[in-house]
Amino acid sequence: MQPTASPRPVRIAVDIGGTFTDIEILDETTGQTFAVKTPTTPDDPSEGLITGLRLAGEHVGFRFSDISALMHGTTIATNAVLQRRLPKGALITTAGFEDVLEIGRHFRKQVYASKAEPRVVLIPRAWRLGIKERTLATGAIETPLDERDVARIAERLKAGGIQCVAVCLLHAYANAAHEQRIAELLAKHAPELDVSLSHEVSPEIREFERSSTTVLNALLMPVVRRYLERLRARLKTAGFEAPVYLVQSNGGVMSPETAALLPARLLLSGPSGGALAAETIAQRLAMPDVVAVDMGGTSYDVSIVSGGRTRLVTEGNVDGLPVRLPMIEIRTIGSGGGSIARVEESGRLRVGPESAGAKPGPACYSRGGTEPTVTDANVVLGRIDPQFFLGGAMRLDAEAARTAVTGRVAEPLKLTPEAAAEGILQVAVSHMAGAIRLSLFEKGLDPEDFTLLSFGGASGLHACDTADEIGIGRVVFPRDPGTLSAWGMLYSDVVHALARARLMKADGTAIPNLKDICAELRRAGAERLEADGIAPPEQLLPIALDMRYPGQAYEIQVPFDGAAGNLDAALKASIARFHEVHEAQYAHAEKHVTPDIVAVRIAATGKLRKPIEHAFAFEGSAAPKGRRKVYAAGNWHDTAVYERAKLAAETKIAGPAIIEEAHATHFIPPGWELTTAPTGDLVATKRAGGAA
């Protein structure tokens, strides 16, 4: 299963988004990469994947038998949750705790509202079933499991047409015996059910978050399994025999077999590839502090690289649903090229979060869409060339874009079509800038210290305006920005994230427990990696601790380097790091207080061979390929248009300017200047005294 053992020369990474499927092809001999983009097929994403692979083979010149591995990022899990295309499911829990999902946490966005926000509850009350049993926080069993209850519940589930079951018992993270027995009995009485056990999905404290994560995992099991079955069948029919890896939310990859059992780990599958790419590029450019923004057709993803590293968190949120799993910290909003603009009854212009998607798509796609979108606005303003969209592979209808913007926005607001289109972009930029502010300010970070890394098919058209909005003075446009998330997946490793919850004081009394837990986690991690075909020399087994001050409701994860054997010294180093990070994030530290250890974690990592950095050489000239009128800052500008592939080394271009490439277009506003970097990246800087 290990791709490094294969003599085949090509590795493929695929990122299936809501609008386009992005493909990166790595020539493992030379290190050179090639990009291909094809429309996503929403009804069956595997169809678009196979179509894209065939297109890539024709474009680059390889056969399916030449592929050593396929790294696959997908939004199948995220879209199923967002669109509520989920099967009928049930929850089995300890009697008396059936309403944990509905009670949730008492967080309120509108503090002074007379009513709390409605809860997102994926399992109705009738199918949240309590069962007689009780395990204490110590792991001791107080009330034995009533196995007759399980048999009765199994019959009820079958009669009710239930397809999947989440089992989340009180304190199962401390002792999983009852959950394991319930799984055995369900397999006996209702073998057709997909069963998700909390101690396998999220073995941690916090009943609500653990229940929510386990329920999401259960509901996604039939969805992801059916997709993987279709994908496997299509690949087999096409003659594809290479191993397939699914990209996880933490940036690692896992086998399809693991993904079918733990599909909740795919919820940020696609965006995590972009975060990996951002980390790699930050190192390449020696820019350790980067805001990475990925704007596709449907969403806008923000991740932070600080000190050269992306940040992993142990809990995220998908559409109001907590997911307690390790994942790269990414903030996502509904702002993409397909985001729909509409005028509300109050006269307020709103852009997104609704998206035209791939079908029918923006009005300019000529696929039946009539609503104006961000892409339509860019066409009206001359920022997108209708004849060169996707490098000329797709022609756009400029008149349809103008008609949509005029009828739905300009006329209701009594504006010219150009002013209406620019207003659409200003609202979208405001949303995007707000997401970046939140991502930086909540960590106490200053935007002026960061560089904006712009990628995704739509990001380059708005990156400089967004940076200007929040006070960032430098923007980087990397090579192949339209498929960069797929490119980042080429740098993934096999990762198994395991955890053991154990509340204990971070002092000498914890050492015996830490020794046992670390040994157990390393053994379990090594076994899973060996099952994936990863030999010990390629295994990394780093341990981390979740720490907090006594009484706190949140933790900070710090490394625990106990492999050398001196656990006392390792623990002291972890405590010092905890105080340091706490002070950086929250502006205070109680260094006289002994923190608590809440959980011990391991990210068992199997190293896969990385791409060889391909030397870049500019071979063009500084001359533009043409000129066209572009509307910006309330006026039409005669604007130079450049083809990125034909730029020369050490080129400097003053805005306004347009840079076109096969899968993206970049707009350099007035007041900005673009230069070519030796790495092949483009760097835009705000000129002193310039106004965008």
Q: What is the pLDDT of residues 648-686, one digit of tens each?
A: 888 899 989 999 998 899 999 999 999 998 888 999 999
Tell me what the mean pLDDT of segment 186-201 comes to. Answer: 95
CA dist 383 and 616 (Å) reads 27
Q: What is the pLDDT of residues 246-259, one digit of tens each?
A: 999 988 899 999 99
pLDDT of residue 21: 86
Tokens encoding 483: 């498929």
Stronger pLDDT, 374 or 3, i.e. the higher one = 374
Could you state, in order of their start, the residue ranges of all structural domains in the chain? Answer: 82-225, 494-606, 626-686
CA angle at 495 for the pair 34 and 209, rounded to the nearest 5°: 115
Share of the chain above pLDDT 90, in %: 58
Show Cβ contacts of residue 332 under 8 Å, excluding neighbours closer than 6 positions.
271, 299, 300, 301, 302
Quote the pTM value. Answer: 0.82
> How many residues does this entry show for the chain?
692
Tokens encoding 513: 């427990």
Tokens encoding 283: 């190192």
Query: Is residue 692 very low, low, confident or very high in pLDDT (cuts 50, 70, 90)?
Result: very low
Instruction: Please determine, for residue 564, whether its predicted confidence score (pLDDT) is greater than 70.
Output: no
Tokens encoding 436: 């970046």
pLDDT of residue 390: 78
**Partners of residue 626 on adjacent β-strands:** 641
Contact 272, 265 (CB under 8 A): no
pLDDT of residue 690: 56
| Tokens 């994230």, residue located | 497
pLDDT of residue 496: 92
CA dist 453 and 463 (Å) reads 8
CA angle at 193 for the pair 188 and 196, rounded to the nearest 5°: 100
Instruction: Please determine, for residue 1, whether its predicted confidence score (pLDDT) is greater than 70.
Output: no
pLDDT of residue 4: 42
pLDDT of residue 3: 42
**Partners of residue 10 on adjacent β-strands:** 27, 67
Q: What is the pLDDT of residues 325-351, one digit of tens each?
A: 988 888 888 888 889 999 998 999 999
Q: What is the pLDDT of residues 463-507, one digit of tens each?
A: 999 999 999 999 999 988 988 889 989 888 899 999 999 999 999
Q: What is the 3-class SS of 512-543, one letter each residue? A: HHHHHHHHHHHHHHHHHHHHCCCCHHHEECCE
* Among 485, 458, 424, 425, residue whose Cα is nearest residue 299: 458
CATH fold group of domain 82-225: Dna Topoisomerase Vi A Subunit; Chain: A, domain 2 (3.40.1360)
Architecture of domain 494-606: 2-Layer Sandwich (3.30)
Q: What is the pLDDT of residues 127-158, one digit of tens each?
A: 999 999 999 999 999 999 999 999 999 999 99
Instruction: Please determine, for residue 689, whether its predicted confidence score (pLDDT) is greater than 70.
Output: no
Instruction: Please determine, for residue 89, whether its predicted confidence score (pLDDT) is greater than 80.
Output: yes
Query: Is residue 2 very low, low, confident or very high in pLDDT (cuts 50, 70, 90)?
Result: very low
Q: What is the pLDDT of residues 273-319, one digit of tens each?
A: 888 899 989 988 999 999 999 998 878 889 999 888 888 888 888 87
Give the phi and the psi of residue 14 in degrees, each rounded to 5.
-125, 130
Q: What is the pLDDT of residues 423-464, one digit of tens each?
A: 999 999 999 999 999 889 877 889 999 999 999 889 999 999
Tell me what the mean pLDDT of segment 317-324 comes to. Answer: 84
Q: What is the pLDDT of residues 95-127, one digit of tens each?
A: 999 999 998 887 777 778 787 777 789 999 999
